[in-house]
Amino acid sequence: MVRALFIDMLEGRVGAEVYDPYRRKLGILVSFDSEVDGRVTKVSVLLYGSGEIRDYAPDAIEIEGDRIIVKPAWKTFAEKTRESYKRAVRRMKHLEEMYHKKEIPAQVYREFAKRLEKEIRKLRDQLTKVREMIQKRKRELEIERDMVIRSKTALRLSFLSGEIRPDAYRTAFEKLKDIEESIELEWKDLEETLKKLDEFEEVKISNEQKKIEEETAVAPSAAQPIPVKIIE
């Protein structure tokens, strides 16, 4: 669950470096906006390299020790979609239990089930979008990984040829190693996220709303709840 971000969590960190979850330095925290109750609504970061000031929503921000972490868009979207999907399926499960125990009439069950089924279908579409974002990011990382390998090869060749001083070689090599490690960390996170998404594919919403309406219209007591599986 996303925790709210408050002024007191950031006020002493303006001017501090900002990282991503994979140990990359992204830039400098330059400002943030907030509501009168102290809730932060936007965080602005001056990005290294481009010099661009980019705004991030609070749900993309985490505080880990003395570090400010900004999660990539694919990760933030995946987490939000996954949590929403789990919540919707959980509600459907409890709705079925209530109907099965005759705690609610068929009409009420039908109305709530229809609304929840609509939300679940929408979230399944979002899960597909998450997969597309992940695959796109993996392709980008493959390109970055190839560039690092080529750079390390050229660097090593120049060093062995006596064209680069040992201290300069070591510094450059360590930088490339850091980049390589960050790529592998993000790649692992992408793979783990895909694995979690695969679990959602096991959730079966097998009955269409039309069937629900037919069953509840004919015999409320005979209507069958929509089978779902809870993802813990």
The tens digit of pLDDT for each residue in 113-168 reads 999 999 999 999 999 999 999 999 999 999 999 999 999 999 999 999 999 999 99
Is the pLDDT at 232 greater than 90? The verdict is: no
Kindly report the pTM of this predicted structure.
0.81
Contacts 24+ apart (CB under 8 A), 4-12: 4/39, 4/40, 4/58, 5/39, 5/40, 5/43, 5/58, 5/61, 6/34, 6/38, 6/39, 6/40, 7/32, 7/34, 7/38, 7/40, 8/38, 9/40, 9/63, 10/40, 10/43, 10/68
The tens digit of pLDDT for each residue in 3-41 reads 789 999 999 999 999 999 999 999 999 999 999 999 999
Contact 13, 31 (CB under 8 A): no
Question: Where in the sequence of the chain do the CATH 2.30.30.240 domains occur?
Answer: 7-71
Q: Which residue has the tokens 């679940």?
A: 120
* CATH class in words for 7-71: mainly beta
> CA neighbours within 13 Å on the CB side: how many for 179?
18
Contact 137, 119 (CB under 8 A): no
Is the pLDDT at 218 greater than 90? The verdict is: no
What value does the mean pLDDT of the chain take? 88
Of 3, 5, 10, 7, nearest to 45 by C-alpha is: 10
